[in-house]
Chains A and B, each alone.
Chain A
Amino acid sequence: MQIADDVLIRESVREPEQFGPLFDRHAEAIHRYLARRIGAHADDLLAETFLIAFRRRESYQPLGLEVRAWLYGIATNVLHHHVRQEERRYRALARAAAEEPRTHADDSVDDRVDATALRADLAAALAKLKARDRDALLLLAYAQLSYAEIAATLDIPVGTVRSRINRARKVTRAALGSLASEVEK
């Protein structure tokens, strides 16, 4: 039976090697989150995230926060040092997508939607968000954390999470345009 993440962290305070399996379990997901936000630089930030996690393992509090969410929080903090790079990437993606020939989205979503344009508009919208609003939104959308987990991860009240996500959703809904309106009906 697999040893639980929080047990490994607790044991790793006494036996540092116990921390190793946490990398094997979570590296791919954390990298995916980082790479969606910052592109190729995620390779380096993945290492940084786990190094910080290892150094802070004694401060991990299992109550109300899974190790997975805790790691997403560290990754999000690491990204704070690269906010401009993240925003530049979004703008570059928006430009690149805008220059691509238009194609249609997967039929399973909505074949009337121009997927390329949607991606361009969404990338541009993500670039416009305040960094802290974007953190909350993408922890919800990419990492599938709950509001409570995001609150614990970012060390803010749940109400603040809600207001940040609401603010961010107004911007991104505008980018998603008619598709977002239709799916909400």
Chain B
Amino acid sequence: MNDIELIDEYGPAATELSDEAWRAARTRLVSEIEGPVAAPARNRRWGLLPRIAIVGLAGIAAVAAAVAVLPGPHPSFRSPDVTAQQPRARLSFGPVRLVSVSAPQFPFGLPGLGEPSFTADPGGPVMGVFGDTVNDSVVLVPEPSAPQGGANGERTIEVDDRPATILSIPDGSGTTASVQLTWERRAGQWVTIVGNGRYASEEEVLRLARTVVDQPRPVKFKVTLGLAPEGWTLGGFKSDESSIAIQSYQERGSDREVHVVWYSAPQDLGEAEGFEARSEVTVAGRPATLTRATERWILDGTFPDGSAYHLMVPRDFTEAQVIELGESLRVH
């Protein structure tokens, strides 16, 4: 073993690439590939269907949704997701307006399959993933509108006299890895269910579809922003629940984002890139540090339970808006 090999052997070890991090990075890339104005995902080759299968195979503990923040209730099926509440009186005079937001909700349950974890593609609805094992899972997707269909191999059928389409997805060896069913569960309410692994048969997916119940539940985030820029989207979420959690809102068609990181304990993150100035401020009655950098504001503070937040906001927000966003943070 030469010294280069020794460096490889004894140099700092890598942290493992978690499913959540892999998925979050992939989702960002998919979003970039598909562009800011995405067509229905299922019609694209790197689209919804294979991603659902991957979601099912990989196991889920993350949400990367992109649900627009609007100053009123969403129409139709999307309303249980992230919505702005009553638009508050104008909170400040910056170039963006902050509006109240609440955690998105997932509308369904599958009796006998326990509590779901969640994920979502940019521009798409929150998906619930049921099942205890990585390989065997069931994914439920509330569709915001009647699907357009058209995937290769898709068949038109009926489920309890309502229209439906069903599709089997083979893996590399030809074995059925996933079965996807989209059906009109009630008049105007379209749902997709995907069975992976041992749930990947048409009979099982049809059986499970008939057991879906209305069971609205909040999609739990470790840290949440109570305010977000109007019209921005919930761009990403990941969490290991015990030491770090991230939530972000993004502006459509740009890389501007409001990004909050929660840590179980305060971190020494060093000087910010492009550092310009630092000031001590009060956020929700607690001391915090506001850093102005070339491209962003950074607000660092703590919650009453001793955990900490690191909030990054584009520089064109006003200082008052940064404080308002900080004051809207909640840890759960």
Contacts and interface: CB of A to CB of B under 8 A. Distances in A.
A54 B33 contact: yes
A173 interface: yes
Given A23-B25, A141-B8, A36 B14 contact: yes
A44 to B, nearest CB: 8
A120 to B, nearest CB: 10
Interface in B179-221: none
Contact of A20 (B7, B12, B18, B29): B29
Given A27-B22, A51-B28, A17 B3 contact: no
A84 B22 CA distance: 25
A93 interface: yes
A14 interface: no
Nearest to A33: B14
Interface residues on B, range: 35 or more
A72 interface: no
A126 B21 CA distance: 26
A23 B11 contact: no
B10 interface: yes
Nearest to B5: A141
Contacts, number: 125
A179 B10 CA distance: 12
B21 A176 contact: no
Given A17-B44, A140-B4, A47 B29 contact: yes
B29 A122 contact: no
B15 A40 contact: yes
Interface of A is mostly: helix
Interface string A30-47: 011101110110110011
B11 A126 contact: yes
A122 B7 contact: yes
B26 A142 contact: no
Contacts of B17: 27-28, 31-32, 35, 42-43, 46
A17 B33 contact: yes
A166 B20 CA distance: 39
A113 to B, nearest CB: 9
Contacts of B15: 35, 39-40, 42
A27 B270 contact: no
Given A43-B25, A46-B25, A183-B3, A19 B11 contact: no
Contact of B32 (A54, A82, A93): A54
Given A23-B25, A47-B25, A122 B11 contact: yes
14 contacts: A19-B33, A23-B26, A23-B29, A32-B14, A37-B12, A39-B12, A42-B15, A50-B28, A51-B28, A141-B5, A141-B11, A169-B4, A173-B3, A176-B10
Interface of B: 1-18, 21-22, 24-26, 28-30, 32-34, 44-46, 238, 244, 270-271, 273
Given A40-B244, A85-B270, A141-B4, 8 more contacts: A27-B25, A32-B17, A39-B12, A47-B24, A54-B29, A93-B12, A138-B7, A141-B5
